[in-house]
Chains A and B, each alone.
Chain A
Amino acid sequence: AQSVSQHNHHVILSEAASLELGCNYSYGGTVNLFWYVQYPGQHLQLLLKYFSGDPLVKGIKGFEAEFIKSKFSFNLRKPSVQWSDTAEYFCAVSPAVSNTGGFKTIFGAGTRLFVKA
């Protein structure tokens, strides 16, 4: 079965520290990959996405992620976090559209990031 694994459930960092959140997925076919952020009390927002091409993708708010196909990984990075980055981060995988035209996204369990001011 398809699954997404996020290595860290809780991360605590000080402001200006560097961030790397791990994500691995299990799916043998072509996928597109996402990182979403959910600020407290808010809905999911797309941080960045990978469909094809350059495996290093840049998103909003200074985040980037690298797709390593051989490792089935899509880790999220930010060189210097801010207090406002405190949120929950979800890695997600979407296989290509099925033969019935269906499309779904499989989410990891999420990583709660707390940035100390």
Chain B
Amino acid sequence: DSGVTQTPKHLITATGQRVTLRCSPRSGDLSVYWYQQSLDQGLQFLIHYYNGEERAKGNILERFSAQQFPDLHSELNLSSLELGDSALYFCASSVEIAGGFYEQYFGPGTRLTVT
């Protein structure tokens, strides 16, 4: 158990719908990251938040958005869902090791199935 929690574990929804995935970081971690794992794209970095502020963006679609709240939990919002959005969505939180390098701890993921 990494200490990072994600809800829900599984989500099944239809095309065109909107869903919200939730992540709670480890106690004390200020950074939250979102990743998407799909069969065709592999593990892709989506976005990094630090203490409520967006710090880095990866291959995140415009239909997707995220935020980090004052209590440090984060939500990833996926809208106008398409079949290709079906994937495992991981959240991670991190602690700084030294000199700007971080060690990330991953949550169990939310498996999204779009039908």
* Residue from A46, A103, A107 within 8 A of B31 (CB atoms): A103
Query: A115 at the A/B interface (Cβ < 8 Å)?
Result: no
Tell me which residues across on chain B come within 8 A of A42, comparing CB atoms. 108
Tell me which residues across on chain B come within 8 A of A100, comparing CB atoms. 55-56
Closest to A49 in B: B103
Which among B100, B103, B107 has the highest number of chain A CB atoms within 10 Å? B100
Would you call the interface of chain A mostly helix, strand, loop, or mixed? Answer: loop
Q: When A and B form their complex, what is the total count of cross-chain residue pairs whose Cβ atoms lie within 8 Å?
A: 67
**Which residues of B62-115 are within 8 A (CB) of A?**
90, 94, 97-109
**Which residues of B30-44 are within 8 A (CB) of A?**
31, 33, 35, 42-44
Cα-based distance from A40 to B35 in the complex (angstroms): 18
Stretch from A15-23, A76-84, A90-98 forming part of the interface with B = A90-98
Tell me which residues across on chain B come within 8 A of A110, comparing CB atoms. 42-43
Cα-based distance from A109 to B44 in the complex (angstroms): 10
A43 touches B101 (CB 8 A): no
A13-55 near B? 1/0 per residue, CB < 8 Å: 0000000000000000000100010000011111001010000
Would you call the interface of chain B mostly helix, strand, loop, or mixed? Answer: strand
Task: Give the contact-size bracket for chain A.
Answer: 20 to 34
Query: B2 at the A/B interface (Cβ < 8 Å)?
Result: yes
B90 touches A43 (CB 8 A): yes
* Residue from B42, B55, B107 within 8 A of A102 (CB atoms): B55
Contact of A90 with B43 at beta-carbon distance under 8 Å, contacts A44-B106, A101-B55 already known: yes
B101 touches A104 (CB 8 A): no
* Residue from B90, B97, B100 within 8 A of A44 (CB atoms): B90
Which A-B residue pairs are the 4 nearest by beta carbons? A102-B56, A97-B100, A107-B43, A102-B55
Question: Which B residues are closer than 8 A to A by beta carbons?
Answer: 2, 31, 33, 35, 42-45, 48, 50, 55-58, 90, 94, 97-109
In the assembled complex, 23 residue pairs joining A and B whose CB atoms fall closer than 8 Å, in A order, are A44-B90, A45-B106, A46-B104, A49-B103, A51-B99, A51-B101, A94-B102, A96-B99, A96-B101, A98-B55, A100-B55, A101-B50, A101-B55, A102-B55, A103-B55, A103-B56, A104-B45, A105-B33, A105-B45, A106-B45, A107-B35, A107-B43, A108-B42
